Structure 1
């Protein structure tokens, strides 16, 4: 009997496949189909603070008084949050798998209030998504890390459910920031958040949106940091995201040290039923290799579990391939 269960951020999951926050997870019918196909948990579509403020600015007139602005802000924010909370409650009534609420804010004072309301509505955990891009030459990068730490510290004091952080690759020392988040009380990290991809249309000579979907080749950094972080920061759960497109991707991430994986693009392309196909393939691989549980091979190839840990640390192409030629 193959045991696919795993534990991520204090949540007991029936297998390592979590559906990432996306358009797929803002529709109850799709969520139920994903659960039926075997998804272990879902991360609901994010509540974006920017969207709330954008809606407020559309309603407001430039001549409105400050009192009107306060009223409109309160109304819009309350309305948007209420819709998210109602949807969360509806999902919780219809599915039995863990439901993780996702919040995307850019001001630290907004997080705690939102988080408390999601906890009260039944969320099993929180995933916070800061995704800040600093372009000020004189901005101290340490302030960004401290902002993350402060947000997590505030949240873990305010709620009892697990708090997880979805990180981008834009940190000079990813294991260090993960360790700081662990010390602040975070129970898990998602590595990584795939940022908006800009592109340029050379015929129209203008900026356009790039490909919104990831591709399987993007899994390399995902594997690299699952391997490094799991070895250096053992006290926090890791969910691997970006480039996880099939059973092989799921297996690779777990071998590197991930506790769970988040899938999105593959499910957009293949449909909810692809979860079942992926799980069957993972089970088949485990059976061939003689593994009876996920815990038996999780971290087998982490940076702390292989002789050549420098394979994860090599950043220069020729440094590795020149050795292969000798």
Structure 2
């Protein structure tokens, strides 16, 4: 079951998402051997580069005024260097497409440098992970989306490899944002970024980390918008991330129009063998329903049909029985 994504040819629609499972060459090789169509390498975080430099600068005692600049440069170079080496090693030791990833916390100019370095190291494509936590009541959603557009435009105009954008959940007008990303050069979008969200400890009365892994039910956040994006903007490649734990969820996403599905939690729970199981399940489903290729059924439910009232409905109406 071959597919294409961002102009790259993949032997499987199952792609390992940016995660600890793609943070080293051993994980990348294991994913390739299990049948992954591609991998998205663990993200390079601007936040971590800045955080490391800021932390070390607190302990700087040099009387010279350029100490902070030196730390920013050294820590940034060391941190980025590890990612660049991983790209090089992954290209040398596997035959699947390698997608680099950068996690953006702002619209800083340094993203162009990061993106160029990853492309030069051999990455086949680049995924930009965008998310801004708006805590200022005066911040308008339009301004945040303009910042996203600015970052994507600058990166796309500077690199020679295709770019996809991993969008945050809960956008007011997802199709409009996708259209704007396409307009500034992105060739794909990933629905959606799953940011860290805290839980509450009712014993300590403090915030605590929540479960970082997804649940199958979360796929419902994406299915409608995959289908609508595919229908309205068939020229852009749509990927889904979050909630794909088995071949059944992968088939649902493909039927809605996704070109690939990104997986992480499935590997955490079932090991890299989960990739092979999903591939077999997709092939078995295809045979059972008379499809020889993914393109024969991809986007089938995104086509206008009698079930459009369900695709476009936003209220439950009569679904809850009376008590």
The two structures have a TM-score, normalised by structure 1, of 0.94
Deviations 1:51-71 (A, max 9, x none): 111111221137766521111
Question: What is the distance in 2 between the residues matched to 1:63 and 1:285?
Answer: 61
> Structure 2: any 5+ residue segments left out of the alignment?
none
Is the CA contact (8 Å cut-off) linking 1:300 and 1:306 kept in structure 2? Answer: no
Q: Give the match for residue 26 of structure 1.
A: 23
Is the CA contact (8 Å cut-off) linking 2:164 and 2:187 kept in structure 1? Answer: yes
In the TM superposition, residue 197 of structure 1 has moved relative to its aligned partner by 2.1
Deviations 1:304-323 (A, max 9, x none): 332222322222122x638x
Question: What is the distance in 2 between the residues matched to 1:23 and 1:123?
Answer: 18
Question: What is the distance in 1 between the residues matched to 2:111 and 2:170?
Answer: 21
Alignment CA distance shift 1:80-1:63 (3 Å): closer
Question: What is the distance in 1 between the residues matched to 2:208 and 2:81?
Answer: 33
Q: What SS is found at the alignment partner of 1:307?
A: coil
Q: Give the match for residue 263 of structure 1.
A: 263
Q: What SS is found at the alignment partner of 1:321?
A: coil
Deviations 1:169-196 (A, max 9, x none): 1310001100110111101000011111
Q: What SS is found at the alignment partner of 1:126?
A: strand
Please show how residues 1-326 of structure 1 align to structure 2 within 5 Å. Answer: 4-61=1-58, 66-108=65-107, 109-302=109-302, 304-318=303-317, 321=319
Is the CA contact (8 Å cut-off) linking 2:60 and 2:67 kept in structure 1? Answer: no
Is the CA contact (8 Å cut-off) linking 2:106 and 2:147 kept in structure 1? Answer: no
Comparing 84-93 and 120-129, the one that deviates more: 84-93
Question: What is the distance in 1 between the residues matched to 2:92 and 2:2?
Answer: 23
Is the CA contact (8 Å cut-off) linking 1:299 and 1:305 kept in structure 2? Answer: no
Is the CA contact (8 Å cut-off) linking 2:100 and 2:118 kept in structure 1? Answer: yes
Deviations 1:10-63 (A, max 9, x none): 111111111000000012122211111110000000001111111112211377
Question: What is the distance in 2 between the residues matched to 1:107 and 1:71?
Answer: 22
Question: What is the distance in 2 between the residues matched to 1:24 and 1:60?
Answer: 31
Alignment CA distance shift 1:59-1:258 (3 Å): same
Deviations 1:246-302 (A, max 9, x none): 000000001011111001100111000111111111111100100011001011001
Question: What is the distance in 1 between the residues matched to 2:146 and 2:203?
Answer: 43
Deviations 1:193-223 (A, max 9, x none): 1111210000111100111000111111121
Is the CA contact (8 Å cut-off) linking 2:129 and 2:165 kept in structure 1? Answer: yes
Question: What is the distance in 2 between the residues matched to 1:168 and 1:314?
Answer: 22
Question: What is the distance in 2 between the residues matched to 1:24 and 1:63?
Answer: 35
Question: What is the distance in 1 between the residues matched to 2:120 and 2:60?
Answer: 38
Is the CA contact (8 Å cut-off) linking 2:106 and 2:132 kept in structure 1? Answer: no
Q: How many pairs are equivalent? A: 319
Question: What is the distance in 2 between the residues matched to 1:207 and 1:321?
Answer: 35
